[in-house]
Structure 1
Amino acid sequence: MKNTGALLVNLGSPDSPHEHDVRNYLNDFLMDGHVIDMPWLVRRLIVSLFVLPKRPAQSAKAYASVWTEKGSPLISISKDLQEEVQKLTTMPVELAMRYGKPDMESALVRLASKPEIKEVLLFPLYPHYAMSTVKTVVERAEKIISTHKLPVTLKVHPVFYDHNAYIEALVESAKDYLEKEFDHIVFSYHGVPERHIRKDDCTGSHCLQSDDCCQKASPAHQTCYRHQVYRTTACFVEKADIPVDKYTVAFQSRLGRDKWLEPSTSSIIKSLAQQGIKKVLVICPAFVADCLETLEEIGMEAKEDFITAGGESLELIPCLNTHPAWTKLVTHWLEKPLQN
């Protein structure tokens, strides 16, 4: 891999928790046609008329609640991961965000400027495929390389949602929490509109066509986010020996009025409390680094909802972050990438 450089890519974050920066970030994020997958004019109207007037102020308060001396948790944790990985490999490792800074364009140009680099290994920091994560990252990288006529080829590391080494690292990172006394564990994944699932169905006739579509073998599973998160859950509970009646899969972070994957995390959290469940753990395997969606939405908001509804304790299991098992695994995959 002497002629290869690596680019780790995560979602991104505002430059600061101030309303102006949050507005700019949301505009960049939501105007991506893979996030709100509608014609540009419709997307522009939705974002300008229904999101940007009020959402930035609300989101700014949420970001402020998790902001640290190092800045955005997502950015600082991702930088720490990059630094730890770089210590373990001689391969040049860059970090970028799909939206905001550090930006993908600068990172790719830096890698391509090294005369020894002939190939860039793009590593989207997402275990599962979705058009709003992996697909948009890959297309953005391809566009930058084409626009700048960079003298490198692009190799994309595949998703790893059910790879044994990833599951082992995930279980190991959660070990201390799983050894505690708890009544139920919620696997909370970032939600996506059902429309996205159908659009990514290469068969055009499998996804969401039956209640058990995710359990029926199909080529559609290669790009089916719903199937992949259920596989992650199944692999995790088997490895961690969690009984079937002691866990639930749910989806968080909804936006807009379209039909999204269900059940929602908020409804599950409240329902568990109403059923008399007292001690709940929540793990968010769709994220490899703690961020607004884990720290605030789950660690603060969902916790408050659970206790208000009658629960006693809700603990957020941290993401993989810079856990040694994860750091070593990322390094290994950069040097010996998985095959599609």
Structure 2
Amino acid sequence: MNQKGILLVNLGSPKSTSVEDVKEYLDEFLMDEKVIDYRWIFRALLVQGIILKTRPKKSAEAYKTVWTDEGSPLIVISKHLQKRLQEIVDVPVGLGMRYAEPSIKTGIQELVDQGVTEITLFPLYPQYAMSTTETVIDKAEEVRLKFFPDIKINYVEPFYDREIYINALAESIREKLPADFDLLQFSYHGVPERHIYKTDPTNTCNMNTCCQKEDNPSHKFCYRHQCYKVTELVCKKLGLPKEKVMVTFQSRLGKDKWMEPYTDATLEGLGKKGIKKLAIVCPAFVSDCLETLEEISVEGKEIFLHGGGERFDYIPCLNEEQSWVNVVKTLSEEKLNDFYFH
């Protein structure tokens, strides 16, 4: 019989907070054509000719503020998730990162060394995006064809609207949401608007009303729709009125048009609009990382308080909560039980 296994895949992180290691990580990350989707020569000019001249030093300083004794928060949390999942499933569980180590190749090799021949790969992203889910699948297929041609891989699909995930996220928020909050802000990682158009198989996206249409075939590949759907389903589960909820998008890079409204610009003005007690959650991430621990809970808090806010509550990601471990188990086992050659 074929031996099955699970491979969890997250984004990745620098090996250390040194400028050199951060530069190496950013080079691999930003040179991915699914992240900065310019022609190679223009991508190289932008990344290696401009961004890597200045950004690594700034990013290294930011990483130092969130680094733990065990290492990068994202890597540490991912390893803890792997361990906790392994405790409740009866197949081997591996871990890989799209960028840096442990790489997807390393993760697959770890499973192969245990006799695994059929792998269910779980991209740890609730929503589909060209720069997350798609690049993980592309990389895994590239690695499989080159190094593991006899191994079969299938993939856990984006789970943004699965009830088991929504229940876990909603309950996690409920437990941490202050009773007297003025506004709950859902801050999702942003992407350039052109990514939304590129992944639309129908070529009908207008970046507005189509996200609300029922049974739109674009929804399966529309990151924007999926972010708003998560918010809608969670708020329905929590019984939150629309006027107490807002969706924004963070972490934009460069001068291209990214999805709006922007998180940082929004935070600047909330205090003047009478929002004094803000809670914020980042459901594009399942593991706390630089974008949540530094960009939101440190920089975002500073922006909000400086703009007239009085209290800022960051609600952590699902990380290694038992309800989330159970979600990963359920969705993984669905694919293990319905294996097909991708």
Given the two structures, how large is their TM-score scaled by the length of structure 1? Answer: 0.96
> Hey, what's the Cα distance between the residues in 2 that align with 1:47 and 1:9?
24
Instruction: Output aligned runs, 1:159-308, within 5 Å.
Output: 159-208=158-207, 211-217=208-214, 218-308=216-306
Partner of 1:99: 99
> Hey, what's the Cα distance between the residues in 1 that align with 2:211 and 2:259?
13
> Hey, what's the Cα distance between the residues in 2 that align with 1:92 and 1:151?
18
Report SS of the residue matched to 2:297: helix
Paired letter, 2:81: L
Report SS of the residue matched to 1:230: helix
> Compared with structure 1, are the counterparts of its residues 302 and 276 closer, same or farther at alpha carbon in structure 2 (3 Å cutoff)?
same
> Compared with structure 1, are the counterparts of its residues 307 and 22 closer, same or farther at alpha carbon in structure 2 (3 Å cutoff)?
same
CA RMSD of aligned residues (A): 1.5
> Compared with structure 1, are the counterparts of its residues 207 and 95 closer, same or farther at alpha carbon in structure 2 (3 Å cutoff)?
farther
Paired letter, 2:222: C
> Hey, what's the Cα distance between the residues in 1 that align with 2:224 and 2:161?
13
Paired letter, 2:237: K
> Hey, what's the Cα distance between the residues in 2 that align with 1:253 and 1:180?
29
> Hey, what's the Cα distance between the residues in 1 that align with 2:202 and 2:65?
43
Paired letter, 1:47: V
Partner of 2:62: 62
C-alpha contact 1:207 1:220 (8 A) present in aligned 2? no
C-alpha contact 2:92 2:114 (8 A) present in aligned 1? no
Instruction: Output aligned runs, 1:97-176, within 5 Å.
Output: 97-115=97-115, 117-176=116-175
Greater Cα shift, 144-153 or 15-24: 144-153
Paired letter, 1:26: L
1:325 to 323, 326, 342: 323
Structure 1: unaligned runs, 5 residues or longer: none
Report SS of the residue matched to 1:254: coil
What's the offset of the Cα at 1:337? 3.2
Report SS of the residue matched to 1:52: helix
> Hey, what's the Cα distance between the residues in 2 that align with 1:199 and 1:268?
27
User: Deviation per CA, 1:89-123, whole angstroms, max 9, x where unpaired?
Assistant: 111000111001111111112323443x2311010
What's the offset of the Cα at 1:177? 2.0
Partner of 1:5: 5
Paired letter, 1:185: L
> Hey, what's the Cα distance between the residues in 1 that align with 2:91 and 2:12?
24
> Hey, what's the Cα distance between the residues in 1 that align with 2:279 and 2:151?
44
Paired letter, 1:213: C
What's the offset of the Cα at 1:2? 6.8
Identity across the alignment (%): 48
> How many correspondences in the alignment?
337
> Hey, what's the Cα distance between the residues in 1 that align with 2:217 and 2:274?
41
1:73 aligns with 2:70: no
> Hey, what's the Cα distance between the residues in 1 that align with 2:201 and 2:293?
35
What's the offset of the Cα at 1:68? 0.7
C-alpha contact 2:119 2:152 (8 A) present in aligned 1? yes
C-alpha contact 1:270 1:306 (8 A) present in aligned 2? yes
User: Deviation per CA, 1:147-204, whole angstroms, max 9, x where unpaired?
Assistant: 0143211101100001111000001112222253211010000000001000001011
